[in-house]
Each structure stands twice: as structure tokens, then as C-alpha cells.
Amino acid sequence: MKDEPVLEVTGLSAGYGAVLAIREISLRVGAQDVVCLLGPNGAGKTTTLRALVGLISAAAGEIRFNGRSIRGSSTERLVKQGLVMVPEGREVLATMSVQENLELGAYVRSDGEVSRDLERMFELFPVLRERRHLAAGNLSGGEQQMLAIGRALMARPQLLLLDEPSLGLAPLLVQQVFEVLGEIKRQGLPILLVEQNTRKALEIADYGFVIRNGSIVREGPAAELKHDRQLVEAYLA
């Protein structure tokens, strides 16, 4: 990990009503790192991401983004600051066109470079250029995932949070999603990646955390976790 983390989470607890779904989570994402958060279904991965982006409030703990405390900030404000999540299940706007979905991703920005970034997205995802005028609901699952990632990139994030981008996709499309993530990584954007596909996640990640029953039970360099057969097989999607 590099010296100055882009994200530093300490003792974060959060949940639904009076029930805590995550307890005293601590994790870091280095400035150019891909960090994965692994764990079985129901472990608290989505809850962690939701608490980070202010969709649910934290019951305890500290969240620092680029050195500043962000606990209690609104989701919209965090998007403006560059903390952007691609939610589980994609959630593209089905009746709007592919291009409109991408443009919506840039709604928080006030610079004049949206059309240039749109072009960059079409370079990163050639299939979206072909389908730019189609309603997003007519895309395949894999294409919708690409669109959801592209829409998040249109906000010009400084950290990208991804919630199970490969979930429900056929193997070839899983491969394509991870290729795109590899390209994003090469461009130097840090990523916090939630995945049940442990093997693929550890291939791309620099570092990993394992969550179970709402607590971090293990962490280490991806190269180390990758060689733990028990870990890889336990959560292999």
C-alpha cells in the first residue's frame, strides 16, 4: 500500500434499524490500488459500501476520503467529491437511452468536458457506442453492467466502488468486465471491489479484505490470499 490512502475506514459499524449488519470494519485503499472486499452472501459487503457512500448512516467509526472525514456526508456530495459507487444489480435507467444514462452520470459536474468523456467511454466500451441510441433496458446483462460502470466513470471518480460487477453474468462476460476493470486500473484509478468471484477478484487486486458475519476476519496482499486454497474455494462463485 502507498503512504497516503485514498480511503481509510476505522471501526465502522452500520446496519438497519437497531440491528448492526457490520461491526467495527477497518480497511484502507491506497492511492492507485485495487482492493477487494470478499466474503459470502449476507456477510455485509453491500452494507459496507452503502455506509461508505452515505446511503445508510454509520452507527460508529470514522471514514476518511482523501484525508478528510466524510462520515455523515450526503451521497450526492460524495459523488461530487469523487466517491462513486456502481450498485449491485446495476440499476440503469431502463427507458432512457444508453447515451442519456452516461450523460446522467456527469450531472454533478459543471465543467465543459462531458462530451469528451462520453467519447472516452465509447472507446472503453465500443459496444455502448453501437447501442448509444437504444433504451438501456434493451441491453443484455453484461452490456448493462458496462453501462453502469461507464455512468460512474462519467462522474470523474477519484475512487470507484463496485458491488459485485460480475454477478449473474456468463463466463465470457465476466471476463469482459474484468478486462475493463484492468484497463481502469492501468489508468491509475483506485478501486474498491466487492466480489463473490474470489479468484477473479484476487487476480486483479493488490490487496484484499475478507468479511464474514459483519466483521473483517482476514486481510493481506492479493498474492498471498490467492494461494490460500481454502479461502478461494470457500467463496468461489
Ligand X SMILES: Nc1ncnc2c1ncn2[C@@H]1O[C@H](COP(=O)(O)OP(=O)(O)O)[C@@H](O)[C@H]1O
Chain residues that interact with ligand X, rule: CB under 6 A: 16, 21, 39, 41-47
CB nearer ligand X, residue 129 or residue 212: 212
**Least separation in angstroms between CB 102 and ligand X:** 26
Residue 41 contact partner, candidates ligand X, Mg ion, none, CB within 5 to 8 A by sort of partner? ligand X
Q: Are strands 19-29 and 34-38 parallel, antiparallel or unpaired?
A: unpaired
Of residues 31 and 55, the one with the C-beta less far from ligand X: 55
CB of 13 to ligand X, least distance (A): 12
- Cell numbers representing residue 38 in the block: 470478499
User: Could you tell me the smallest distance in angstroms from the CB atom of residue 23 to ligand X?
Assistant: 11
Residue 54 near residue 75, CB atoms below 8 Å: yes
Q: Determine if 145 is a binding residue for Mg ion (CB under 5 A).
A: no
In the complex with Mg ion, which residue's Cβ is closer, 89 or 103?
89
Indicate the residue among 47 and 176 with the shorter CB distance to ligand X: 47
Q: Considering the complex, state which of residue 88 and residue 100 has its C-beta at the smaller distance from ligand X.
A: 88
d(C-alpha 195, C-alpha 198), whole Å: 6
Residue 164 beta carbon to Mg ion: minimum distance, rounded to whole angstroms: 6
- Please spell the DSSP secondary structure of 96-139, one letter per residue: SBHHHHHHHHTTT--SS-HHHHHHHHHHH-HHHHHTTTSBGGGS
Are 34 and 191 in contact, with CB atoms under 8 Å apart? yes
Question: CA-to-CA distance for 149 and 143, rounded, in angstroms?
Answer: 10
Q: Which residues contact 147 (CB under 8 A, 6 or more apart)?
A: 90, 92, 98, 101, 102, 125, 128, 136, 139
> Nearest residue by C-beta to Mg ion?
46
Surface-to-core class of residue 124, CB atoms within 10 Å of its CB (0-12 exposed, 13-18 middle, 19+ buried): middle
- Residue 21 interacts with which of ligand X, Mg ion, none, CB < 5 to 8 Å by class: ligand X
List the x/- string, 29-58, binding to Mg ion by CB under 5 A: ----------------xx------------
How many residues interact with Mg ion (rule CB under 5 A)? 2
**Binding region for Mg ion (CB under 5 A):** 45-46
